[in-house]
Amino acid sequence: MTQVVSTFSALLLALSSGIASGNCVTDTTQADFQAGVASNLDFAKSPGNAVLTSTVGGGVLDQQNTTITLNGEKFNNTQWAAQSFTARNSGPLSRVDVNVFDVCGVPPPPITMSIRATSNGLPTGPDLATTSFAVTTYTGAQKWYTANFTTPANISSGTQYAIVLRASGTVGTSCLGFSNSANSSVSGNDVYSGGVLSFSTSSGSSWAVQTYGTSPTSDAGFKTFIGAAGGTSYSSAGDLISTPKDGAPPAGSVVTWSNISWIGSTPTSTQLRFQAAASNSATGVFSFVGPDGTAATYFTSGASLDRFSGNRFLKYRAFLTTDNVASTPTLSEATVCYSISTPPSADLSITNTDGVTTAAPGNTVTYSIKASNAGPSPVTNATVSDNFPASLTCNWTCSGANGGTCKASGSGDISDATVDLASGASVTYSATCAISASATGSLSNTATVTSPVADPNTANNTAIDLDSLSVTTNVAVTMSDSVELVRIGDVITYLVEVTNINGPSNASATVTDTLPSQLNNGSWVCTAINGASCGAASGNGNKLTDSPTLPNGSKVDYLYTATVVAADSSGGVSNTVSVRMNSGGNQAQANLTASDSDTVVLFASGFDSGSAPAARAVTGGGGSMTLQFGIDAGLLQQAPTTPVTVASGQSASGRTLFSLQLVRLGSDIAMRTLTTIDDTAFSDVSAWTIVNLQQHRISLDWRSASAHGDDGFLRVGTANTSLPLVANNARENLAQVQVAVSNEIPWLVAVQP
């Protein structure tokens, strides 16, 4: 092996035999071929060439069956035995060995052996060649005998022939046997696929296969040899596995195996074929295949070996076969060629930061994601990707530096496979991401860069930015009952508004309002606005406790109704509501508490605890009254979020018997009644009921109580909604209904029922 200097590096093919030329290695000498591993090949017969091994005289073994038992097919001068076979090679059948025994104890006449053609596995036609041999053992012992043909028959590869045995003279019926593979006289044993044992009881005129009932056939013991006596006969097949050819690539380089070619000769009925195998270890496993990657195909001279590229070592395997024992293929020269190349390599890296370690849900963060190439090779169509967390909604732009290019902009995740990075170039993505106001926990954002070429350091191809999430809200609470002066027995309604404006995070809070002892009979309803949700829609009792959810920009309203039952030591009544954040922090803790204070009076000039507008009277009356009212659409459209008394019933003495109130709860209108209890200043307050006033009709039925019991009632309803029946014990007759007026427009107008 000589040293070869390629355009890439100096290559020392220390493990390869053969002559090196450029980036090719050729086996062409006797030493080259002998350095490999050969089977049935001869390198000395024609030095510098590889041919099949051969024998001189007697021919070469072609077919045989040596699997025999102690059983045999009997034959004599009139009953003949035959075994058919299929020739592997073409040429003169110069010799046949058979296994025969004699059990009669006396020398039999010479045994005649002939070769015949076959039809359906049975002998047919005249003898093609004839010879004889003597049986020399008469004790019943089996023995192999050789029969040589002076004038052999020329047989053809793939053709079936028959070996026919018979005694040349008279002999006992059961003296001679052609040893076979049968297990017993009733059980055959088919061991040779190329033929079958048969017999003739008509001196060869007709033949039958020897069978054993339902068991298979059997085969006689025989060997056939092809080749003229005294001539040269070649083995049917041989092969050569070459030494490993070493591409010896320098560090960082790879071997590309280009092609295989050879010089040789293939006379008629011979073949010279090649397969190859490769490994990265000279002592590794070499699995020989053809061009389709299987062992069923073979390369042609000049064929590509590219499928083995990337492996340092390559071996070829030459297959030499003949179907004519008189001929052999010849291998004179085998060449494999290769090249050495250094694949591109680029150290890509990526960084990823938003410049903060803590972020608030509802706010935005801006990530700066930079992909760079430290070289040495340029990279085309690298991929930068960032699958943003589900809690982020992102838009991004990208710009390059020092020759770097990328997609200009996009929304959502980054998946840019158009990134070109020359050595020293970079691209930077600026991603502005809105954090979901409901996000919790942390933000973990991962950016990656991948390269279509080898990257010597993949540890810097991923970058993670981690932020903790801190819920930040702007919750505030206000409280007002819209009055300043109240009397014992008055029903007052607080409007409690809890907002989260410019949170930026969603808020989860608990609202608490414990009524002071001066207030009683509390009840409340909750209205959610702009995506908020109430913990409960309503409640009763002197303590309001609810846990609303307040997305950024939303609010909840509570209408908390109570009856004034006393005054405190300062002559008033004061109520306080507070909000506690269930998670995170609030921007202004001072805004989480609100109070409302009223002065309790006996009488004040112009006093009206409900701040009701001016009123117009609808007269009538008696112990019972049924009225139908139309409601003004304009005022209804502008109904406030605090209760408004739209009508009240009065007795002839001026006593208020009942009141009818409306309020807006979100997009709905709710209605309730207040009925005076006995001759006190207190009232029964019905629950707020959502009503349908699209037809702008309200009905009112009043009945005073009789002298004998609390059997009076008030029934109020709309076109398709009725409030619960309210009992009353007022024995005074209803004299008139006072209708509230706002901006000189009465809320209700009496209509005919």
**Structural domain spans, the chain:** 4-53+235-341, 60-223, 346-469, 473-600, 615-751
pLDDT recorded at residue 74: 96
Torsion sign (Cα): 41, 46, 48, 49: negative
CATH architecture of 60-223: Sandwich (2.60)
Annotation: CATH topology of 346-469: Immunoglobulin-like (2.60.40)
Pairing label, strands 426-435, 543-546: unpaired
What pLDDT sits at residue 710? 73
Q: What is the C-alpha separation between 63 and 750, in angstroms, rounded?
A: 126
Rounded to whole angstroms, the Cα distance separating 666 from 64 reads 104
> How much is the CA Rg of the chain, to the nearest whole Å?
57
- Under DSSP, the state recorded for 589 is G
CATH 2.60.40.740 is right for the domain spanning 473-600: yes
Q: Is 590 helix (H, G, I), strand (E, B) or coil?
A: helix
- Residues 121, 195: contact at Cβ < 8 Å? yes
- Does pTM surpass 0.85? no
- Find out if CATH 2.60.120 is the number for domain 4-53+235-341: yes
Element (H, E) at 15: none
Instruction: Point out the residues of the chain with pLDDT beneath 70.
Output: 1-22, 57-58, 229-230, 603-622, 753
Contact 19, 28 (CB under 8 A): yes
Q: Which residue has the tokens 């605090």?
A: 642
**Whether the domain at 346-469 and the domain at 615-751 fall into the same CATH topology:** no
- What CA–CA distances, in Å, run from 692 to 129, 388, 486, 699? 121, 48, 32, 13
Residue identified by tokens 């309730």 is 672
Handedness of CA 225, 228, 231, 237 (dihedral sign): negative
Q: What is the CATH number of domain 615-751?
A: 2.60.120
From residue 518, give the alpha-carbon distance in Å to each of 160, 353, 666, 675, 682: 124, 59, 30, 20, 13
> Rounded distance, CA 559 to CA 705, Å?
31
pLDDT, residue 722, reads: 76
Residue 620, pLDDT score: 61
What is the b/e burial string over 319-338, where b = at least 16 CB atoms within 10 angstroms of the residue's CB? bbbbbbbbbbbbbbbbbbbb
Q: What is the pLDDT of residue 22?
A: 54
pLDDT at 15: 40
